Amino acid sequence: MRHYLKALVIATATFYIAQLAVPTVNVGASIKNYALVIIAIFLIVQIINPIFSLVLLPINHLTFGLVMFTINIALFFSLINFLPGFTVGAFDFPGATVDGVILPAVNFNQTSTVILVAFVIALVQKILHIIFE
């Protein structure tokens, strides 16, 4: 039970950080929509990813995890299609300077924004799982 509660908290934090990083992720005004998105992310991480990971283990090792990242993108697209009020729009990154490193401005269309959000969610989940294990 403790494992599932920790995974639910990580899914909540992950979605919150992804929504902060990419402000064009829109869930709507209802708390029900937030709960549905968080539960969907939780179910993907706890049920669907382990099944695909086991079935596609040899291919996943040969591609250094690229297959699982592609599956995460496909599952995120399915969340957009099946959850009510959940949309991801185009994102214009204005550019930034971090300690002398210049990040140029980038315009993401909707598809590349979904890929960016899936990457942010996967990265934050891995980091949080490493921290809380």
Give 24-53 pLDDT, tens digit per residue: 988 888 888 888 888 888 888 888 888 888
pTM above 0.95, yes or no: no
Give 62-76 pLDDT, tens digit per residue: 888 788 888 888 888
| DSSP-derived 3-state class of residue 108 | strand
Give 76-95 pLDDT, tens digit per residue: 888 888 887 888 899 998 98
First to last CA, the chain: 15
Averaged pLDDT of the chain: 88
The domains of the chain are located at: 2-132
Contact 53, 70 (CB under 8 A): no
Contact 10, 61 (CB under 8 A): no
For residue 12, give the H/E element and its range.
Answer: helix 2-21
